[in-house]
């Protein structure tokens, strides 16, 4: 069975976590190149990083900077940072109470299909929410996990944005557990201006056990992708 190295980074600065992802991502790609060039006794590693970030807004490659509604001074006033990054998608928010999951997977160990990969990430969150009696799903043409997605009350509970090269992935999931949703008012989330954002806390009316939710998502990912942790 495929092995995945799991690391819980706790509350970590966004740039520090991004640099760490890049380091693992590059090492995996370098190993893949060596293997394709005939190197023996090398196998690519797979990683799953869990963390939370201090308040930060990130803009994907295809995003519009106008979807950030704060200027530089207002960012400082809100104790937040802003980064243009190398994942797909538009703008999103990360902050305390949001579970961020970064799989650095060599998809050659699983399946070479980035759309299937995105659907598996979504499904792991959908299955996690089901454990709490929250019914969620997808919206056609939009990545992520939604509640009442096919109604005028559609609200997003999880954003997903990834990068891949040579079938190696990075970036990933932003899952709102106990997030301060007021920060989403400072952006046009994912460039979508007609749908709301929510969290488990908001849906259930009370703060959730962050550690417990994290462990359930960790387990759901392993079952969907058929791997074990080391």
pLDDT tens digits for range 15-25? 999 999 999 99
Higher-scoring residue by pLDDT: 86, 53: 53
Residue spans of the domains in the chain: they are 2-229
Q: 24, 47 in Cβ contact below 8 A?
A: yes
Q: Provide the percentage of residues in the chain whose pLDDT is more than 70.
A: 97
Is the backbone of residue 172 left (phi > 0), alpha (psi -120 to 50) or beta?
Answer: left
May I ask the CATH class of domain 2-229?
A: alpha beta
Asked if the model's pLDDT at residue 192 lies above 80, the reply is no
Q: Which string of b and e fits 63-85 if b means at least 16 CB within 10 Å? A: beeebbebeeeebeeeebbbeeb
Active-site pick, 4, 80, 190, 221: 190
Q: Is 190 a catalytic residue?
A: yes
Q: What's this model's pTM, rounded to 2 decimal places?
A: 0.95
Place of tokens 């809100």: 78
Least confident window among 19-23, 91-95, 122-126, 188-192: 188-192
């Amino acid at each position: 069975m495929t092995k995945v190295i799991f690391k819980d980074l706790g509350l970590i600065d966004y740039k520090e976590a991004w640099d760490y992802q890049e380091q693992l991502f590059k090492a995996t790609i370098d190993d893949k190149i060596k293997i394709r060039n005939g190197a023996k006794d090398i196998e690519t590693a797979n990683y799953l990083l869990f963390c939370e970030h201090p308040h930060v807004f990130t803009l994907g490659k295809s995003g519009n900077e106008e979807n950030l509604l704060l200027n530089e001074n207002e960012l400082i006033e809100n104790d937040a940072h802003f980064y243009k990054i190398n994942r797909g998608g538009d703008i999103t928010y990360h902050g305390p109470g949001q579970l961020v999951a970064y799989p650095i997977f060599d998809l050659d160990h699983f399946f070479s299909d980035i759309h299937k990969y995105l659907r598996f990430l979504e499904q792991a969150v959908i299955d996690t929410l089901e454990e709490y009696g929250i019914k969620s799903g997808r919206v056609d043409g939009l990545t992520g996990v939604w509640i009442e997605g096919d109604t005028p009350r559609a609200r997003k509970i999880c954003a997903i944005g990834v990068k891949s090269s040579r079938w190696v992935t990075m970036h990933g999931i932003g899952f709102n557990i106990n997030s301060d949703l007021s920060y989403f008012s400072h952006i046009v989330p994912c460039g979508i201006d007609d749908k709301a954002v929510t969290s488990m806390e908001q849906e259930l009316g009370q703060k959730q056990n962050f550690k417990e939710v994290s462990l359930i998502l960790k387990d759901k990912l392993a079952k969907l992708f058929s791997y074990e942790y080391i």
